[in-house]
């Protein structure tokens, strides 16, 4: 089955700096890669996703890049703010219908923004 590795497990950055979280996956058939943000005591919430036919996607301060050849994808957060502090999970799945195929999650990155 799919295996998703995520690094680093913890990350601290100064407010205003950029943060980068990296994931690798094992299943070459995976074609959908979402990122979830989970605040303490709350549910994971989708922040951005990317499909395998796209190399990069941006949404304001958040961007995701995908390298299918190397089987890795990354989350980039620019101009970080205190409210970006949370645990971030990457995930991967195969199948044409994206969200309704089972997701395999990475182990999470605890991001702390230092004011």
Partner 1 sequence: DARVTQTPRDKVTEMGQEVTMRCQPILGHNTVFWYRQTMMQGLELLAYFRNRAPLDDSGMPKDRFSAEMPDATLATLKIQPSEPRDSAVYFCASAANGGSPLHFGNGTRLTVT
Report, in Å, the least distance between residue 41 CB and partner 1: 9
Task: Select from 89, 109, 111, 113 the one that contacts partner 1 (CB under 8 A).
Answer: 89
* CB 55, CB 65: distance < 8 Å: yes
- 33 strand-pairing partners: 50
Task: Select from 103, 109, 111, 113 the one that contacts partner 1 (CB under 8 A).
Answer: 103
Peptide bond into 8 cis (omega under 30): yes
44 binds partner 1 (CB under 8 A): yes
53 binds partner 1 (CB under 8 A): no
Closest alpha carbon to 72 in 112, 106, 35, 22: 22
- Contacting positions for partner 1 (CB under 8 A): 34, 36, 42-46, 49, 89, 97-100, 102-108
């Amino acid at each position: 089955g799919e295996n998703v590795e995520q690094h680093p497990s913890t990350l601290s950055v100064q407010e205003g700096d950029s943060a980068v979280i990296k994931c690798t996956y094992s299943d070459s058939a995976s074609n959908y890669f979402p990122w979830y943000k989970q605040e303490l005591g709350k549910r994971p919430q989708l922040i951005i996703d990317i499909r395998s036919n796209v190399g990069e996607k941006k949404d304001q301060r958040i961007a995701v890049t995908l390298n299918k050849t190397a089987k890795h994808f990354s989350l980039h957060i620019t101009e970080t703010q205190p409210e970006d502090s949370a645990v971030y999970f990457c995930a991967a799945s195969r199948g044409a219908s994206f969200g309704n195929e089972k997701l395999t999650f990475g182990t999470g990155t605890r991001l702390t923004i230092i004011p």
